[in-house]
């Protein structure tokens, strides 16, 4: 396997790990924001399930 393919596979493993463990959540009802590792969550502030969820790895560094 080429070094480039190995690096790409390592990068994808890191992305998959971040994808599972870092979900930015925004409650559309009360505006609360947090990072969670669970996809099926309710807002701790108001109990709403009306959430916007974005995988944190999608945010650029810096």
- pLDDT, tens digit, 9 for 90 and up, residues 26-48: 999 999 999 998 888 999 999 99
**Residue 8 structure tokens:** 């790409």
What CATH number did the domain enclosing 47 receive?
2.20.28
Does the pLDDT at position 57 exceed 70?
no
Tokens of 35: 């990072």
Phi, psi (degrees; rounded to nearest 5) at 49: -105, 5
Rounded Cα–Cα distance for residues 54 and 62 (Å): 18
pLDDT > 80? residue 15 = no
Q: Is the pLDDT of residue 61 over 80?
A: no
What's the domain count of the chain? 1
- Domain span at residue 23 reads 3-58
Q: Which of 5-9, 21-25, 45-49 has the highest mean pLDDT?
A: 45-49
């Amino acid at each position: 396997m080429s070094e480039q393919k190995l690096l790409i596979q390592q990068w994808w493993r890191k992305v998959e790990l971040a994808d599972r463990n870092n979900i930015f959540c925004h409650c559309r009802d009360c505006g609360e924001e947090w990072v969670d590792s669970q996809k099926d969550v309710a807002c701790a502030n108001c109990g709403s399930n009306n959430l916007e969820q974005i995988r944190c790895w999608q945010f650029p560094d810096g």
